A and B are shown apart, each in its own frame.
Chain A
């Protein structure tokens, strides 16, 4: 009797030990991998790109499952959650996915305001977080997170690139040296806007430009007319704007009606990249607008990509038609590529290595596999390579090969115009056209 009890106790202890180890051998996990996909399906962020990111991620997961799953045998079980564009809801949903749904991987996250608190909480639980979208430096900077990885370019790249683009074309288009260019920077006051604006400011100072105004605002502000008034008083040549979605529409309307006129208008991602939505609000007046985001897969010259990669872009475009049958390829937001491509990196590169080399898909195995990721330039749909900053680096977990592209709306569609490595237009218009209601004449 006593020996039976001892045997039972040993079995129990063994079971607890296996359960607590967190390193489940692949064979014992069945043939499925559970991925929690957390985006904002409702609230202000949904139409600002979050929904398009989710669509991209879902299309890729469906595609991989149709091909037999990861390594041809591990099917992905996608568990969706809605952050509702509220940080507290996103955090609660992440907790639910990790601890109630017991997902193996948490992926997605659109808003940096959600990603900043969430990344630390998830990392402390030693769970694997794969950020497809949120860009703020603050998500990773000086936190030395061990289980959080972001293939997406970080906010500083956005802020630097837009200013470098202006400097690159200032003499040719503005007929001014960079030091004579008057720049105004406005931004939403969360980590996303604040981070991009800080990079705008630092780069503008480096280029010797004149910063005539830098100001933040809340995306919930019901009125931005005083900001427009100050911008008119500051008389900028270039307006650098980082916002989400409804605030962008409100600002542009009030700017148009209050007579704000600039030569170059550059938005930074989010609502500025949802060209179909901008067109619905402003029609053809959006011609000449800029946005900054990771390159859109469908705008990249297939010859610049590794063999076979461009075929996936066609797959993405084909599947996107199920969501938006009437949007031409040149108007599809880069957020679709972010969801699709960054999920592809996870399922095509990190997960297979974790299973084959590190014995499964525990957080430790996934983190080890991610640290070994080494995709060269041209190896992903969005053109960039992937190599994550190692532990101990100030930006540990950030893809150091990611790039941000400047887009301009030309002839009604988005075109890559900077940096030269992705530019599809050698000599973009840069300036707002004379017909634009926001154009300085």
Chain B
């Protein structure tokens, strides 16, 4: 095969990795602070995608207006999920927490089917591609990648350089100690859920450039997102970022060198091997 196609595959892997990173970071942020895995996280993304779709296709909003509005929708969904589902079970046994968020997943899928049927809905964005040396760079992937990198940078600055960001990091390190210092962890939880929800809204906007939305969209990205979070180390933001690109590159290059299915097989094998060697994730410190 012409090496140019391998280069194209590598670039495609990077572009896919950017969007996966947004998904994984939102989920990991919530896990790091609340210590609960939102199984239904990608289904929140699905709801936000519907919101984006109806704003653009239904009401004719510009994507530049609908995009930020979808972030707000995501943040509100995040707060709602926290207050209605997560908050009452924060101190419950992990299995109960898992069952509750798993139940939410089925509820959201059924709710979306009930409201909007099983039809696949697409935001018809027709953006051009640029061809450089035989490699096609579609703007529907380049723009989401650029926005996702900027968003991750913004998240990093928010967590590092704002008071509430510092509080979020403090709670993620030791929630009991934070409470003993007189801080209110509940407020931090709500803000974290809002930020995680906004990341879901952002992911929804970016994914809508490339994917149709339907009630079972979560099945397409959910397993991969969790795998990335675990590979990077649950709660480890940098780990999730790195893992996103590791997995997307394996899938893209493995897909071209062997077969599409084999790309995923190799990614899963790498995941299993890393889990044996470093159960805490690729960036976990050895004890």
Determine if B260 and A222 form an interchain contact, defined as CB atoms under 8 angstroms apart: no
Of B174-182, B184-192, B250-258, the one touching chain A: B250-258
Given contacts A43-B118, A47-B214, contact A227 B136 (CB under 8 A): no
Tally inter-chain residue pairs, CB-CB below 8 A.
123
Determine if B216 and A43 form an interchain contact, defined as CB atoms under 8 angstroms apart: yes
The yes or no answer to A329 lying at the interface (CB within 8 A) is: no
Determine if A245 and B124 form an interchain contact, defined as CB atoms under 8 angstroms apart: no
> How long is the Cα–Cα vector from A346 to B163 in the complex, in angstroms?
71
Contact of A47 among B118, B124, B210, B254 (CB under 8 A): B118
Interface residues of B in 190-246 (CB under 8 A from A): 210-212, 214-217, 219-221, 224
Closest to B131 in A: A259
Interface residues of B in 60-101 (CB under 8 A from A): none
Which bucket holds chain B's interface residue count? 35 or more
Determine if A259 and B136 form an interchain contact, defined as CB atoms under 8 angstroms apart: yes
Q: Which residues of B contact A222 (CB under 8 A)?
A: 16, 220-221, 224
Determine if B118 and A280 form an interchain contact, defined as CB atoms under 8 angstroms apart: no
Given contacts A44-B214, A216-B260, A220-B220, contact A277 B119 (CB under 8 A): yes
Determine if A216 and B212 form an interchain contact, defined as CB atoms under 8 angstroms apart: no
> How long is the Cα–Cα vector from A230 to B4 in the complex, in angstroms?
11
Determine if B260 and A227 form an interchain contact, defined as CB atoms under 8 angstroms apart: yes
Determine if A224 and B260 form an interchain contact, defined as CB atoms under 8 angstroms apart: yes
Of A68-76, A249-257, A354-362, the one touching chain B: A249-257
Given contacts A223-B251, A226-B263, contact A277 B140 (CB under 8 A): no
Q: How many Å from the CB of B75 to the closest CB on chain A? A: 24
Q: Which residues of B contact A281 (CB under 8 A)?
A: 120, 122, 124, 212
Of B5-13, B24-32, B153-161, B165-173, the one touching chain A: B5-13
Closest to B220 in A: A222
Q: How many Å from the CB of A247 to the closest CB on chain B? A: 9
Determine if A226 and B211 form an interchain contact, defined as CB atoms under 8 angstroms apart: no
Determine if B251 and A42 form an interchain contact, defined as CB atoms under 8 angstroms apart: no
Closest to B257 in A: A226
* A/B interface sample: 17 pairs, CB < 8 A: A41-B118, A42-B216, A216-B261, A220-B219, A221-B220, A225-B12, A226-B9, A226-B251, A226-B253, A232-B5, A246-B211, A250-B211, A253-B140, A253-B211, A258-B12, A258-B138, A259-B131
Q: B residues touching A (Cβ–Cβ < 8 Å)? A: 1-2, 5, 8-9, 12, 16, 109-110, 113, 117-122, 124, 127, 129, 131, 136, 138, 140-141, 210-212, 214-217, 219-221, 224, 248, 251-256, 259-261, 263-264
In order of increasing CB-CB distance, the 9 nearest A-B pairs are A226-B255, A257-B138, A46-B118, A225-B12, A281-B122, A259-B136, A217-B260, A226-B256, A258-B136
Q: A residues touching B (Cβ–Cβ < 8 Å)? A: 41-44, 46-47, 51, 85, 189, 215-218, 220-227, 229-230, 232-233, 245-246, 249-250, 253-254, 257-259, 277, 280-283
